[in-house]
Amino acid sequence: MTTISPATAAPATTTTPTASGTDSTGTLDFTQNFDTFLTLLTTQLKNQDPLSPLDTNQFTQQLVMFSQVEQQIKTNSELSTLVGNSSSSEAISATPMVGRTIEYSGNQAALENGAAAFSYTLPSNAASAVVSIRDAGGNTVFSSAADPTAGRHDIVWNGQTNSGTQLPDGGIYAIEVQAADTKNAAITATTTATGAVTGVSVNNNVATFDVSGVQVPMSQLLTILAGSSATAN
């Protein structure tokens, strides 16, 4: 393990239904279309010409369409309920994980007890490699030459900047690895981080570990390590 001494997730986006019955992603808003269809159908029946009533076949087709939209709404609602129940069950079953240290895919970790643990893996040998640590604002607080050989490399950052300033515990930091081959072509490294689980929740119907402030979907769990978090040497 290498001890080093002297990125952040994209904000979630929301969509707003538009008057045309679609949201900003172009997805059909079934609830809005259902209400609109019902209003139009009722208005049409109220205002039809008594001497020229609505054609029976046309009316039947509209009722069939009405039924299909209603069924789609119910199906979507039931699916959402099933997904939510499944995620809640996963979160409950993962409650014993609180207090355990896990390794997860990603590049963010909290600085706890003066240390933040990461790893990076290079798919092939690089001519050069540099590892940087960025704060929540994307500012580089530490950088250093890194091992350029292929394979996995473990890093424990001691929370100090390049100038030797000790940063306080509690901040969330991201590792970034820049590697290139002899022709200066970029080599992409995969990264992991390690931390203690402090809570389990459901976010957007996804069972999620809270790792000292870092939100980690359970699908990103790689290894259950121990009952205490890693510390710097």
Cβ 165 vs Cβ 114: under 8 Å = no
Which run of H or E residues covers position 64? Answer: helix 56-93
Q: Can you tell me the mean pLDDT for 134-145?
A: 96
Summarised one tens digit per residue, pLDDT across range 128-138 is: 999 999 999 99
Name, of 49-58, 82-91, 204-213, 220-229, the range with top average pLDDT. 204-213
- Check whether 73 has a pLDDT greater than 70: no
**pLDDT value for 133:** 98
Question: 95-226: which CATH number, 2.60.40.4070, 2.60.120.260, 1.10.1740.10, 1.10.10.10?
Answer: 2.60.40.4070
Instruction: Write the DSSP symbol of residue 117.
Output: E
| Helices 56-93 and 30-46: angle between axes, nearest 10 degrees | 150
Hey, is 226 helix, strand or coil? strand
